[in-house]
Amino acid sequence: MPNAFDFTASPFDCLDAAEQGMVRDSVDIAYFRAGETLLAPGMEPLHLFVVIKGHVSQFDGNEAIASYGPNDCFDGRALVAGRASSRFVAAEEVLAYQLAKATVNDLIARNAGFGALLFSDLSNKLGALSQRHGQREMQALAMSRVEDAFLRPAHVVEGAASIVEVARVMQANHSSSVLVRDGERLGIFTNTGLQRAVVDGRPLAGWPVRELATFSLVSIAPAAPLFDALALMIQHQVHRLVVSQDGRIVGLLEQLDLLSFLSNHSYLITVQIVRAQDLDALRAEAEKITRFVALLYRGGTRVGQIGSLVQALNAKLFERAWQLIAPPDLLADSCLFVMGSEGRGEQLLKTDQDNGLILRDGCSVDPAVVEAACKRFSAALRDFGYPDCPGGIMVSNPAWRRGASEFAAVVRHWLRQPDANGLMALAIFIDAHAVAGDAALLAGVQAGIDQLVAADDAWLGRFAAAVDAFPDAGGGWWNRLLLGEHDKQAIDLKKAGIFPIVHGVRSLALRDHVQATGTAARLDALVALGRLSQELANDLADSLHFMMGLKLAAGLAELDAGHAVSGAIPTGQMSSLERDLLRDALAVVKRFKVLVRHQFHLEMA
């Protein structure tokens, strides 16, 4: 029996001492010549193979779809199914462990994590991986719901009640706020309002509380993730949320209670951003955002949740920078927006600027003042660590700052005379998200897109065809990775997997009038419309977030080494499990591209 079996490699690293003993008692070593078939379609497998030396290629028909090198194992799925569905061939001389099928079945029965990592789908593998990394505590926080936190009772008073009466209610209930019902309206009155009333000097006994209540409440459901609640507080700059279910008020979620539960500093960053009096102060907060992302990721927070928080923090950062730079009349008559991954809430580390400005028609601000403000804003973001966009998609470029009518005309041109540049610009603009000024200006221009593409199947086909802008993962770097030549290779996951998912989902969402900008939210909407199965939507979201996580980990490693973030993933540094998960993710991408081609009739193009 071999004693050198490597129990640090997945999925064997989740076995306990007794389970490792089971492996040692039933494993043998086999030798295979180059070109020899280890498993063929239809063959009943008797062993799980773990490569010691050499490489084994997996074929679907005549197409090589995967490669297994030292410490990689296969084919767990065939063991469970009882029959192999692919052909596995020794690409060179191979030494491999053979673990008996009966032992594998016993291990699966004893250890759910081993089974999930061995043969489950991508979602289950990722779930098992997060537990295997020992991140249970932070994952519990990341997956906690609003209802898990401390919710304060919601005391309701009538709008006609006096400030004195309301103050007595607050004192009796040891509360810093009450809800105010005024006819059909529901608002909130807090200690801040009470302070304003006292400072005003008017008699409090005759002053109805409705006059000092705030009626723009921000609500959230009890089952919503706590990280969503935090993102809402950051976005709306509020200290409490109304928790409601089916029109019934459950309670109030206070900022301090949320922060004590999550134990992170994102809200403190927001407070410092809002209070910043100059661009130097904002630069310091921009640096904190990157450190905060690293803290969340290394603590086990899910990538999708990190993206939502980063979007909210960056929006506040950009908004405050624009407020410090632009004169008040320009602020009132414009809408500053971000696009691309920032607009979708999928930017994790600082990437190229993608932003624009829509001016209200008839805006009286001197064009020279607008230009100066926009150039200063782009320079400020550059100073904050956001590089210039190589394509010039930023407010300092006159092409991306226009009046509302002119912007709408440009969008119509992109739609009616689509060329490669116009389609690219439109794809970026569709993901736009307002961060400062009058958001209605952006909404008005975007509404025109929905109207114009509604019945134009030919245009939608040309737009969706960009899903094939980059070749399938079947040549170039991927072939070298399949053959095991991955020590010095780097992968551009944006081209290989992220862009096809993002653009394919964007195309489907545009066709079906989905207003959401985030990929995950678009997937949810498409499932609700019956356009995608829940299973495929889950696979796409899991694949996207896994690849985003790989990019984030590589980017943080580059920053730690003092290098700029390149976006490349060095394959030589990937674990065997990560390569296994990447194979699964890229298989999902390939399947999705087939669906997009079919739905937009691209096979006939």
Tell me if the bond preceding 75 is cis, omega within 30° of 0.
yes
Q: Poorest-confidence range of 75-89, 318-332, 423-437, 542-556?
A: 75-89
How many whole angstroms separate alpha carbon 146 and alpha carbon 222?
5
Q: What is the pTM of this model?
A: 0.67
Q: Among 31, 39, 20, which residue's Cα sits nearest to residue 82?
A: 39
Q: pLDDT tens across 65-77, in order?
A: 777 888 888 888 7
Q: What is the pLDDT of residue 422?
A: 82
Q: What is the pLDDT of residue 85?
A: 86
Q: What is the pLDDT of residue 67?
A: 77
Tokens of 470: 């980059």
CATH classification of 266-453 is 3.30.460.10, yes or no?
yes
Instruction: Examine the pLDDT at 321 and tell me if it is beyond 90.
Output: yes
pLDDT band of 521, cuts 50, 70, 90 = very high
Q: What is the pLDDT of residue 485?
A: 43
How many whole angstroms separate alpha carbon 361 and alpha carbon 402?
9
pLDDT, mean over the chain: 85
Instruction: Examine the pLDDT at 424 and tell me if it is beyond 80.
Output: yes
How many whole angstroms separate alpha carbon 140 and alpha carbon 91?
44
Instruction: Compute the C-alpha angle 501/502/505, nearest 5°.
Output: 80
Residue 402 backbone dihedrals phi, psi, to 5 degrees: -145, 165
Instruction: Compute the C-alpha angle 466/472/477, nearest 5°.
Output: 125
Look up residue 496 and give its DSSP letter: I
Extents of the domains making up the chain: 12-120, 266-453, 465-604
Q: What is the pLDDT of residue 127?
A: 56
For residue 225, CA distances in Å to 104, 193, 220 come to 37, 29, 10
Q: pLDDT tens across 18-52, in order?
A: 999 999 999 999 999 999 999 999 999 999 999 99
128 half-sphere exposure, CB direction, 13 A CA radius: 24
Q: What is the pLDDT of residue 73?
A: 86
CATH class of the structural domain 12-120? mainly beta
Q: Considering the domain 465-604, what is its CATH architecture? A: Up-down Bundle (1.20)
How many whole angstroms separate alpha carbon 406 and alpha carbon 584?
45
Enumerate residues 6+ apart whose C-beta is below 8 A from 216: 187
SS3 of 259-301: HHHHCCCHHHHHHHHHHCCCHHHHHHHHHHHHHHHHHHHHCCC
pLDDT band of 560, cuts 50, 70, 90 = confident
Q: pLDDT tens across 327-377, in order?
A: 999 999 999 999 989 999 898 988 889 999 999 999 999 999 999 999 999
Q: What is the pLDDT of residue 327?
A: 96
Fold equal for 12-120 and 465-604: no
Q: pLDDT tens across 213-246, in order?
A: 999 899 999 989 887 888 888 888 888 999 999 8
Q: Among 91, 105, 97, which residue's Cα sits nearest to residue 33?
A: 91
pLDDT band of 484, cuts 50, 70, 90 = very low
| Cα 483 versus chain centre, distance | 31
